[in-house]
Amino acid sequence: MNALEFDLVVTGGGPAGTSGANGAALFGKHVALVEKTRVIGGAGINTGTIPSKTLRESALALSGWRSRRLFGVDLSLRREATVSDLMHHEKRVTADKHRRLVERLRSHRVEVFHGAASFVDPHTIQVKSADGTVTLLRGKKILIATGSAPLRPPEFSFE
């Protein structure tokens, strides 16, 4: 099987990986980005920073916390706002961030591959997609930006 040739192969589609891929592409490099999950963005966009900060800011806005010192301003809050409303807003914000990230990669001509990456040799990455398809990517340089995952000890329920 012949490998596809790139100047840079990035493993990991989170903030570090996408920034590295976009940066190299801006300098004219031919770049491949490999992401294990079906969506890029990592924990920052998909499960962590953006969703949690969006929910926090929505709660602060609904509580009127930030506007308490604005004299003469009457805030009419929608009292029937539900958790479902907050979650819908969070999903909208997250989807918009994801869409912009994908558009940026596309505009810089970064080729995105979805699947599990593993090294074949120091310059070749094997990508095994969910359907079992294997693609080989050869890079002059490899950037490993696989991110992190939260520790979830079994003795502490997250439900």
Q: Could you give phi then psi for residue 8, rounded to 5 degrees? A: -140, 135
Instruction: Check residue 72 and give its pLDDT.
Output: 60
Residue 104: exposed, middle, or buried by beta-carbon count in 10 A (0-12, 13-18, 19+)? Answer: middle
Residue 72 one-letter amino acid: G
**pTM value?**
0.80
**pLDDT tens, per residue, the chain with 159 residues:** 899 999 999 999 999 999 999 999 999 999 999 999 999 998 888 888 888 898 888 877 776 655 555 566 655 555 667 788 888 888 999 999 999 999 999 999 999 999 999 999 999 999 999 999 999 999 999 999 998 777 788 898 877
How far apart CA 139 and CA 24 sit, in angstroms, is 13
Instruction: Check residue 37 and give its pLDDT.
Output: 92
What percentage of the chain's residues is helix, strand, coil (to nearest 5)? Answer: 40, 25, 40
Instruction: Check residue 75 and give its pLDDT.
Output: 57
Where residue 51 falls (left for φ over 0; alpha for ψ -120 to 50; beta otherwise) is alpha
Instruction: Check residue 40 and give its pLDDT.
Output: 92
